[in-house]
Structure 1
């Protein structure tokens, strides 16, 4: 694992944890930690994706990585709401990944709705742009429990197969950017958007199944380390060109 310019460690205000877990936290967002990969020595790398206020994550990479993030989010109790320009690409995942739990739903619009600390919401916008946070979500499960407020405990994951003219503003407004196999130009754009020029080099050196995670506080990289079950469900966790 390579680390650059990270802030001092801080406690996770919504959960109890040990010093080893705190040392692995990427960004001081608070809330439950979703294991997004493993370090070079095999240690799990939990990232606190969910917090009381709306959270924005941009993923520059493949749909398989987005599904891996969604699948691992369910391990901490998250409900996954997917809005996509290609529903057929998510149908099997929704049925097989969630089983009978109903933890994955395809929705017509990527509008964040309120989750709870125990049942947060991951709103995936795949090939579509998310709406303004704070509005009621489409097709939000009725049994999620009382929400803490509009878009509380809700994280929007915007999936970008490639960068466009509008991507820089989206990157700049994100709390966290996940990057997979970027081109040199993409690595440079992400680093510039988050004002972390030192992130360009480690991002440009990512292996196909490695993930780069960038915030305004720094950058970390690790292996996505998919399990055999995840490979069966999702396939190869690499970045593939979007179909035209």
Structure 2
């Protein structure tokens, strides 16, 4: 099983659209172990395998919009999505719309996430939206419970989190941040130079020596709920 992104090879079909009010039926094409995070430069879907029998940590240095799209898509695969956040108001509408009354996405204050009891039949994806310095706490990855930590920008804890994560996603950052990220992740100079120029919705996903440039575009339902892709919140 690949550590990072998985390309889905095969025929592509025309996309389907749905009203924003039909989010309860939200479902995206997934492989045996992946959630579609976007397309590469050739238009091939790229997947992240959140549901694993081993602990799995993902770090996204980027915008809230992308984290929320991933939350919706993970919920669409049947995972329970747990959001630990200090800005509950930014997640409330999404959580209410996603399950149509079912709590497939639940919100918790920082440091208040209870044990979730993840199993192979009931996997959990925890999204930590805790600002620039997410505190260490009880929320850790474990079998069938993956953790995605969102950092809006590079912060003092970012180097530690980058080194500890199996998969790291980087969206548009400043030239100074790009240089530091490049040193930690071992990026090439062209990759470093590209980071400050990335368009909204574009992420460089890194896992070991794997590199994938991915464009995330919202479906009609996602765009109706979250708006268009954006780096800034």
1:117-132 maps to which residues of 2 (within 5 A)? 117-128=120-131, 129=134, 131-132=136-137
Q: Report whether the alignment pairs 1:195 with 2:196.
A: no
Under a length normalisation based on structure 2, what TM-score does the superposition of the two structures give? 0.77
Cα 1:104–1:18 shift into 2, 3 Å? closer
Residue deviations 1:180-236 (CA, integer Å, cap 9, x gap): 222222222222222334542443442212121012222111210211111011112
Query: In the comparison of the two structures, how many residue pairs are matched?
Result: 206
Q: Please say if residues 196 and 218 of structure 1, whose CA atoms lie closer than 8 Å, have aligned partners that are also in contact.
A: no
Q: Please say if residues 82 and 125 of structure 1, whose CA atoms lie closer than 8 Å, have aligned partners that are also in contact.
A: yes
Query: Could you say what secondary structure the match of 1:20 adopts?
Result: coil
Cα root mean square deviation, aligned: 2.8
Q: Report whether the alignment pairs 1:234 with 2:187.
A: no
Query: Could you say what secondary structure the match of 2:106 adopts?
Result: strand
Cα 1:11–1:59 shift into 2, 3 Å? closer
Aligned counterpart, 2:73: 72
Deviation, 1:134, is 7.3
Residue deviations 1:65-112 (CA, integer Å, cap 9, x gap): 110111111122111111111111111010012223310001233577
Q: Please say if residues 53 and 144 of structure 2, whose CA atoms lie closer than 8 Å, have aligned partners that are also in contact.
A: yes
Aligned counterpart, 2:39: 38
Which sits farther off after the overlay, 93-102 or 63-72? 93-102
Aligned counterpart, 1:222: 214
Under a length normalisation based on structure 1, what TM-score does the superposition of the two structures give? 0.74
Q: Gapped runs of 5+ residues in structure 1?
A: 1-9, 22-29, 136-149
Q: Please say if residues 202 and 215 of structure 2, whose CA atoms lie closer than 8 Å, have aligned partners that are also in contact.
A: yes
Q: Gapped runs of 5+ residues in structure 2?
A: 11-30
Cα 1:174–1:130 shift into 2, 3 Å? farther
Query: Could you say what secondary structure the match of 1:164 adopts?
Result: coil
